[in-house]
Structure formats: structure tokens, C-alpha cells
Amino acid sequence: MLRINELKLPLDHAAEDLPAAICARLDIAPADLTRYQIFRRGNDARKKHAILLTYVVDCVVANEAEVLARFADDQNVKPTPDTSYKLPVMAPEGWDGERPVVIGAGPCGLLAALILAQMGLKPIIIERGKAVRERTKDTWGLWRRSVLEPESNVQFGEGGAGTFSDGKLYSRIKDPRHLGRKVLVEFVKAGAPDDILTEAHPHIGTFRLVTMVMSMRETIESLGGEYRFQTRVEDFEIETGADGTRRIAGLHLSDGSFLPARHVIMAVGHSARDTFQVLYDRGVHIEAKPFAIGVRIEHPQSWIDTARYGPSAGNKILGPAAYSISHKCKNGRTVYSFCMCPGGRVVAATSEEGRVVTNGMSQYSRAEFNANSGIVVDIDPSKDYPGGPMAGMAFQRHWESLAFEAGGRNYKAPGQKLGDFLADRPSTEFGSVIPSYKPGVHLTELKKCLPDYVIESIREALPAFGRMVPGYDHPDVVMTGVETRTSSPVRITRGKDCQSLNTRGLYPAGEGAGYAGGILSAAVDGIKVAEALATELLA
């Protein structure tokens, strides 16, 4: 089988045009094309009046060796790579050895646990939050009634922070082993739509993520895995050998029990601040890490569709338009869009009382009225929050607390119209754009809850974004604050064997450990770490 990359056809092409294009590209007769399948489909919208669909296609052709020889110097015609996944090790039949522990049931912990279970290692999964159905009810309690459950919310609970997001399943990570494909295949087995295997920018959406996560839990349990919900790791037992080597020995849990454990995957997500502090207090090697903060910005989705797709706006094949934009400021900062959610809503994403955090989410249909995105500014620990590895958490908390104050101390988000923001005046009434954030938006000035250099940077960037995406800087556009949980403020540093630099048996993984950013990259990291643990355990 061979693969053709960058095969482009008009947006409105007929079904029979694709096999014809394959034959033309390979200069073969139609009879020599035995079969083909679409591996990926995207679009090229750089010319709004001539949008193209871009395909990656796998083909079976007559005389494949001859065809490949003719295209030996063409990087877009190559043998189809093997994207199947093979377990690196397997526990012996009837294995009853020490069970590995996975802390956290987000995308990273979920895939780590699944791989360990498939290798016959019967993992124990510790999750501080609730199972996904109960967690969903608690999350809506904050959005509808301003009642926060600190252990069950957008950040904590089965499925992790990715459950209440757009469910994006694409990443820019290098993936030579095609582990991302393994993730997508497992998601489809669990009920995700088949098109995530072929779309260039696949997504699932919150409601489908909920049922998918439940299905994957059932699979893990059927393979001998065990879940312990509403159980928080309160402390880590670490032994020091005669040679000074440190090793994890067990976990002190919130129910008062002690769980012996010598192989532990830390997949706690970017908001497990109390866990980071305990690890730091126990001497586990942790470093400060850059992240970003800013606001959520909302436009009517129809504006973005028109700006990106012109006369093809609303085309069902294209769907709601997305964007990715950035601007380098005169002060040296970079402002960029983050976690853009077409046809979605802005949601309350705090996990701590007395603080306001915003994030974005959407359903699979992406059918809601507004588009939203984070507009964030890069933060450098060396100059913005010096004071050690834990200083980034204090920095985030400071601005989240000010956002709570500016929003009225009732979990409403502070908001401001773009025109007023640029003019440096408070907003007093909404215009043509109505924000989606629940429990509500209190109009004020965003400079009350963001650093001066962030305000300065965003003010410079917005007109530049308006030149990139027409209408982006419309004065009625609404911004809400604050977006602070873009990524973890720490890195729990690990070696090539995926173990902590100074604590054997502890495997930092995913976003919370500073090794991923998003559902797919976190899930891929979970696979890598699970493989490393299993190889060590079964050696």
C-alpha cells in the first residue's frame, strides 16, 4: 500500500473526482487502482473564493514497486507507514505481582491505565474527584447555581479537564511511533465518532467525551483494573536507601488508608496545586515552568465563518471555522490564541473557592452561537514570578482571586467590551455580542485582575488580530477574565526512563508534570510512561 500526501480537490468536488485524482497523480490507468481509503482530510482556506479540500490517501495499486520507483524523489508519494500499535511487554499468564498505581483519571491517566491493563498489570487508578456522571452534575452546579465543589468540577474528576472542553484531538507533537493513532483508535472503540480517524482537526465535544470515558473505564475494569474515586493522595512515602537512592514506597490516602506502591504514575493534571506542594515538600525534583495568562474572547461564530471562509461560510463540509493567531509585541511578549472553541461557550473552570477561572468548551456539533478562544500572554518564571518552583501557583492564585473580586464575589466573571478595553474605560452595557459564560458576566475593567504588561500586550495585539481576521477587533466583542490554567506552572522533571530525576518508581506524566498540552499529547505521554513503567516492572 502507498500513501499520497497533499492531494487537493475543489471544495464542491464529486465523489468520483477523488479516485480520478489519485490515478492522475500516480499516472496510472483507472483499472490499476485496486482500492483506496482516506487517511486524513483537511482544507486549505487561504483563498476564500477557491477553498480546497486536502487529502492524505492510502492506495492499493497494480505494480506498486514500479510506481514507488517512479516517485522515489517525491516526498508526497511513499509507502504507507505501519500505524498499528504493539504492546512492548506483556505480563506472564496468571501474573499476580505488584500492581502499578495511576494517580489521576484524565486523558493521560486514562491511556496509561488502559495500556497497563492491556499488558496484564491490573492497575489501581486513584482519582480525587467523582465518576464522570456525578462530576458533570457538580460542574453544572457551579454554572447554574454558583455552588463550587472543590473536589468535583471542571478540573477534578474522571476524564480530567479535557472533558469540559472542545475535545480537540490534534497536536503538533512529534509522533514517530504513531501513538496518537492508537489513542484515536481506542477512542473510537469507546464510542467516539469514526471521523476522528480521518479529519485533520478532529474533536469530540463534551457530551460524547462523557460516554466515551465511561466505556474506557469499563474496559480497564474488565482487564483487572480498579478505580478508587473521591480518593485524594495526601502524602507520599519515600524511602532512602543506604546509597542515598530515594524510592517511592506508598501513598497516604484521604480515607486514612496507606497503599503500598513502588511504581506510581503521576497524571494529576495542571490544577493539582496541593499535590505539587506535597511533592515539593517531600523533596521530589520540581522546576518552575513558563505558562500563559489572559482572557477569553467571544465573537458570533458567523463573523469568524465569514472572515475565514468568505462565500463558503456555512458549508457543511467545512463546518464552523476556527483560527490560530499570534502577535509579537514591542515589549517582547507574545500574545496568541489558545484553545479556540468554534460554536461553543465560555465556562467557569475554577477548582478553588474565592477564585474565578475561565475556559472554553463546545459540543460535537459546535452549534452554539458564539466562538471563543483564550487570548493569552506568555509568562516567564525568571522575571514574572521569581521565588522558586511553587511561585507560579501563587502567581495564578493572585490574579484568580482578583478576578473573583472584580466579578462581584459570586463566581461571575469580570468582563469588558473590546472597544472599552482599548479606550481604557469600564464597560457598562453589552452591545451586539452577548457572552455565554455562566453563572454570568459582570461588566467592569479587566485591568483590575491582570498584570499591566498583559493588558499592554493584549491592547497592542487586538488591532493586529483585526487585520488578520476581519471583524476580530469589533468594539462590541466581549472579553472575560481570567484565563490562567493554560498549562502547568511546574515541571516534575524526569529522566529518559520517565522516572523522577531523584525518586525512583515515580513517573511524572502529562500536563500536570509539564510534559503535555491538550488531550492528545497528554494521552500519548500516558502511553509512553506506561510502557516505561511496565518495562521496568517486568524486567
Last residue of a domain, one of 79, 111, 141: 79
User: How much is the average pLDDT of 3-12?
Assistant: 97
Structural domain containing residue 265: 101-287+490-538
User: Does 92 map to a domain?
Assistant: no
Let me know whether 304 and 437 are in one domain.
yes
Plot region of 374 (φ>0 → left; ψ -120 to 50 → alpha; else → beta) = beta
Count of C-beta atoms within a 10 Å radius of residue 196: 21
In a domain, 67, yes or no: yes
> The CATH number of the domain where 219 resides is what?
3.50.50.60
CB burial readout 209-230, b (16+ within 10 A) else e: bbebbbebbebbeebebebbbe
Same domain (yes/no): 258, 115: yes
For the stretch 483-529, pLDDT in tens is 999 999 999 999 999 999 999 999 999 999 999 999 999 999 999 99
CA terminus-to-terminus distance, the chain = 37
Counted domains in the chain: 3
Q: Which residues contact 157 (CB under 8 A, 6 or more apart)?
A: 105, 127, 129, 130, 131, 132, 134, 135, 138, 139, 163
Same domain, 121 and 249: yes
The yes-or-no verdict on residue 208 having pLDDT over 90 is: no
Q: Over 80: is that where the pLDDT of 166 sits?
A: no
Same domain, 333 and 355: yes
Q: Which of 464, 483, 502 is the last residue of a domain?
A: 483
Residue 172 has a pLDDT of 85
* Same domain (yes/no): 264, 330: no
What is each CA distance from 368 to 169, 345, 364, 372, 507, in whole angstroms? Answer: 20, 7, 11, 11, 40
pLDDT one-digit tens code per residue, 80-99? 999 999 999 999 998 999 99
Q: Which CATH number does the domain housing residue 52 bear? A: 3.30.70.2700
Residue 393 banded pLDDT, cuts 50, 70, 90? very high
The verdict on 375 and 386 lying in the same domain is: yes
Q: What is the pLDDT of residues 22-46, one digit of tens each?
A: 999 999 999 999 999 999 999 999 9
Cell of 400: 484568580
Of 211, 210, 230, nearest in space to 150 by CA: 230
Domain-located, residue 95: no
Residue 144 pLDDT: 94
Q: How far apart are CA 461 and CA 422, in angstroms?
A: 10
pLDDT band at residue 137 using 50, 70 and 90 as cut-offs: very high
Q: Note the Cα 515 to chain centre separation in Å.
A: 12
In whole angstroms, give the CA distance from residue 520 to residue 170. 6
Is the peptide bond prior to 346 cis by the omega test (within 30 degrees of 0)? no
From residue 377, give the alpha-carbon distance in Å to each of 451, 453, 459.
10, 9, 11
473 and 515 belong to one structural domain: no
pTM here is: 0.95
- 272 shares a domain with 227: yes
Q: What are the start-end ranges of the E strands in 454-501?
A: 478-483, 490-491
Q: What is the number of residues in the chain?
A: 539
Q: What is the DSSP string of 229-286?
A: -S--EEEEEEEE-TTS-EEEEEEEETTS-EEE-SSEEE---TT-HHHHHHHHHTT---
Q: Cis check for the bond before 439: say yes or no (omega within 30 of 0).
A: yes
Domain boundary among 439, 458, 483: 483
pLDDT single digits (tens) 325-362: 999 999 999 999 999 999 999 999 999 999 999 999 99
* pLDDT average, residue stretch 376-397: 95
Instruction: Identify whether 96 is part of a domain.
Output: no
Q: What is the mean pLDDT of the chain?
A: 96
Higher pLDDT, 430 or 365: 430
Please give the single-letter amino acid code of residue 265.
I
- What pLDDT does residue 79 have? 97
pLDDT of 206 above 80: no
Q: Which three cell numbers stand for residue 4?
A: 499520497
Strand, helix or coil for residue 345: strand
Q: Rounded to whole angstroms, how far apart are CA atoms 87 and 79?
A: 23
Q: How confident is the model at residue 365 (pLDDT cuts 50, 70, 90)?
A: confident
480, 447 in Cβ contact below 8 A?
no
Is the predicted pLDDT of residue 409 greater than 90, yes or no? yes
Q: Are residues 294 and 281 in the same domain?
A: no
* 142-162 average pLDDT score: 95
Judge if 260 and 400 occupy the same domain.
no
Q: What is the DSSP string of 23-67?
A: HHHHT--GGGEEEEEEEEEEEE-SSTTS-EEEEEEEEEETTHHHH
- How far from chain centre, in Å, is Cα 379? 19
- pLDDT at position 277: 97
Q: Are 64 and 32 in contact (CB under 8 A)?
A: no
CB 268 within 8 A of CB 103: yes
Same domain? 250 vs 365: no
DSSP 366-383: --SSEEEEEEEEEE-HHH
Query: Could you tell me if 423 and 380 lie in one domain?
Result: yes
Walk across the sheet containing 124-126 and list its strands.
226-228, 124-126, 101-103, 264-266, 506-508
Report percent pLDDT > 70 for the chain. 100
